[in-house]
C-alpha cells in the first residue's frame, strides 16, 4: 500500500484543477511539458494520486523559500568556519 497525501486513488481533470487551484489550460500545459503524468480510461483523463504528489513536490519553490534556504545554508557554512 502506498502512503500518499491524497485519499483519492485518482482525480478527474476538474477535481485536480479545483484541488490545486489551477485552470484547465495550465493543467494541459503541465501534461504537455511532461511535468504532470496523466492516464486515460477510455476518453476520460485521470491523474493518479501518486502523479499528483510527484507534480506538487517537483514544483519550483518560490523566491522567498529559495532565498530562505540559501540564507540558512550560508549561516550553516559560517558556523562551520
Number of helical (H) and strand (E) elements in the chain, helices listed first: 4, 3
pTM: 0.68
Give the H/E segment covering residue 53. Answer: helix 49-58
Question: 3-class DSSP state for residue 23?
Answer: coil
Q: In the chain, what is the greatest distance between 2 CA atoms, to the nearest angstrom?
A: 60
Q: Enter the C-alpha cell of residue 41.
A: 480510461
Exposure b/e, 26-58, CB count within 10 A at least 16 = b: ebeebbeeeebebeeeeeebbbbbebbeebeee
Predicted confidence at residue 62, as pLDDT, reads 81
pLDDT in tens, 3-58: 555 578 999 999 999 999 999 999 999 999 999 999 999 999 999 999 999 999 99
Comparison of pLDDT for 72 and 49, the residue scoring more: 49
Amino acid at each position: 500500500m502506498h502512503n500518499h497525501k491524497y485519499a483519492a486513488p485518482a482525480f478527474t481533470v476538474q477535481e485536480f484543477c479545483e484541488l490545486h487551484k489551477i485552470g484547465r489550460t495550465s493543467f494541459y500545459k503541465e501534461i504537455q511539458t511532461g511535468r504532470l503524468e496523466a492516464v486515460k480510461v477510455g476518453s476520460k483523463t485521470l491523474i493518479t494520486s501518486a502523479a499528483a504528489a510527484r507534480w506538487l513536490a517537483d514544483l519550483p519553490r518560490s523566491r522567498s523559500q529559495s532565498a530562505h534556504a540559501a540564507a540558512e545554508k550560508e549561516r550553516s557554512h559560517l558556523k562551520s568556519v
